[in-house]
Structure 1
Amino acid sequence: MLFGAAGVSAAAFLTSCTSNDDGDDDNSSQQQQANVSDDKPGKPVTIGFAGPEADHGWLNAINDNARSRAKTYEDVTLDITEGSNDTATQIGQVDSLINKKVDVLVILPADGKAMTQAGLKAMRAGIPVVNLDRIFDDPQAYRCWIGGDNYGMGLNAGRFIGEQLKGKKNAKVVELAGLDNLELTQQRTAGFDDALKNYPNVEKVARQAAEFTVESGQRKMSDLLQAVPEFDAIWNHDDDQGVGVKRAIDQSGRDEFFMVGGAGSKAVMDSIKADDSVIKATVLYPPTMAASAIDLARALGQQKGVSGMAEFEIPASITLYSAVVSKENIDQYLPTGFN
């Protein structure tokens, strides 16, 4: 997304279209290229990174992606905190990074609303903030937001299931959501329901909310299997809780349905690749967003734009696409799977 060749071509095309002669074209192109972020070493940048506790496979992958990306740049020093789900602790960690006078901050808040003041404090101190995924309440609390598309995640899960079942009369699907008090869960369900409206032959007959844990996934899936004697597909919002979901399914001995997961864990991708279970697809919520956040932070620290885009500044927000990974494209996405 950040370094697409198509974007470079588009920028070059725009430059040629807005110039009056060959000389102007060369000058304009040079000016744009001088303003674009690239992989060549530049001004040293210290990036502070504050995220929640890595108590979930996806969150651990977020930290891994940030560390790995930072190591690819000779001019980047990453100062990463231990991570905490306690808001007061995370605020203290951000304060410490501000006091160290890091050049840029990347913050994935444990609670976006509760951490908004921390983002505002950093911005007021002249430290640009890249807000990662869980968004602050106030747009003044960050320079750039980058994150996943929860509504799109549900939408694409629903479309995939609908397409697989469009030739079946009276098809039945069930949904195993995450924590219902989280807005992201509500958005995923809304997207899923909206997608199914385009498939009148498909009916959602049951829904359970789990807690994004293996134990809750197993327990809630067992409840669904007992409550619904027959269905054709299930969408499980989260691949971590999907470990428990699969246990419950294996214990039941049922296989008349297929399952679509969520997030993109390596275990689920391996199962899709092997084609040895009811798991046939997963909808990505890519932890690679943390690597892209490092790219954006580096560009901010060096006062550059984004490679492949004509603008002199990085965007105010970037929403990632929730791709569906199935046996048709598994080899492309397998390296991005997280443990």
Structure 2
Amino acid sequence: MRIGLLLPENQTARYEQFDRPLVERKVKELCGDCVVEYANGRGDAATQIRQMDSMINNGVEVVILGAVDVRSLRSAVEEARDADVPVVAYDRPVEGPVSAYVSYESETIGRVQGEALLKALGDRANGGQVVRWSGWRAPR
């Protein structure tokens, strides 16, 4: 079986240093005959769409997709469905007919981060103000 792994960018160390090796290792552990075909969108949705099209046209049987842009990849996800290639949205949801969505426990992570912040602030936390800013992305 050929599995496509598409990750969104290579500026954050986690994708190349942690996520990719982890996925490749786990696939090999669960399916010794499986091959992971890898591509990185490098932060560009158009590049990632081309990569996904190429994987589908070259016969991957499933795609694990960490989308660069959750809206822009919709047509590629629909193309995969039309080619009977299941898409597993990885790390962030993506628009379109995905077969599964896999992510982390964001509520647990948020709670643990908050507890660590309170511990680090110690007595200064009493009466202080903490602001959580979510969804920020660096300009391109």
TM-score normalised according to structure 1 size: 0.35
Check if 1:101 corresponds to 2:55.
no
Q: Which residue of 1 is the match for residue 99 of structure 2?
A: 143
- Sort the Cα spacing of 1:53 and 1:157 in 2 relative to 1 into closer, same or farther, 3 A: closer
Check if 1:170 corresponds to 2:123.
no
Q: 2:51 aligns to what SS in structure 1? A: helix
Deviation at 1:143, TM superposition (A): 0.5
In structure 1, C-alpha distance between the alignment counterparts of 2:100 and 2:69, rounded to whole Å: 17
Q: Which residue of 2 is the match for residue 69 of structure 1?
A: 26
Deviation at 1:120, TM superposition (A): 1.5
Give 5+ residue unaligned stretches, structure 1.
Answer: 1-44, 183-210, 212-339
Structure label with greater radius of gyration: 1
Deviation at 1:153, TM superposition (A): 2.5
TM-score normalised according to structure 2 size: 0.78
Q: 1:90 aligns to what SS in structure 2? A: helix
Q: Which residue of 2 is the match for residue 56 of structure 1?
A: 12
Q: Which residue of 2 is the match for residue 305 of structure 1?
A: none
The answer as to whether partners of 1:111 and 1:134 remain within 8 angstroms in 2 is no
1:269-317 Cα distance to aligned partner (Å, 9 max, x none)? xxxxxxxxxxxxxxxxxxxxxxxxxxxxxxxxxxxxxxxxxxxxxxxxx
Q: Runs (4+) of structure 1 moved beyond 6 Å?
A: none
In structure 1, C-alpha distance between the alignment counterparts of 2:64 and 2:12, rounded to whole Å: 19
Give 5+ residue unaligned stretches, structure 2.
Answer: none
- Sort the Cα spacing of 1:110 and 1:148 in 2 relative to 1 into closer, same or farther, 3 A: same
1:75-120 Cα distance to aligned partner (Å, 9 max, x none)? 2111112433111111010001110121111111111111122112
- Identity among equivalent positions (%) equals 25
Structure 2 counterpart of 1:137, one-letter code: E
Check if 1:79 corresponds to 2:37.
yes
In structure 2, C-alpha distance between the alignment counterparts of 1:85 and 1:109, rounded to whole Å: 9
1:211-267 Cα distance to aligned partner (Å, 9 max, x none)? 5xxxxxxxxxxxxxxxxxxxxxxxxxxxxxxxxxxxxxxxxxxxxxxxxxxxxxxxx
Q: Which residue of 1 is the match for residue 110 of structure 2?
A: 154
The answer as to whether partners of 1:81 and 1:93 remain within 8 angstroms in 2 is yes
1:184-223 → structure 2 map (5 Å cutoff)? 211=138
Check if 1:120 corresponds to 2:78.
yes
Q: Which residue of 2 is the match for residue 46 of structure 1?
A: 2
Structure 2 counterpart of 1:53, one-letter code: E
- Sort the Cα spacing of 1:71 and 1:171 in 2 relative to 1 into closer, same or farther, 3 A: same
Deviation at 1:52, TM superposition (A): 1.8
Structure 2 counterpart of 1:63, one-letter code: R
Aligned length: 134
In structure 2, C-alpha distance between the alignment counterparts of 1:152 and 1:74, rounded to whole Å: 33
In structure 2, C-alpha distance between the alignment counterparts of 1:79 and 1:137, rounded to whole Å: 23
C-alpha RMSD of the superposition: 2.6
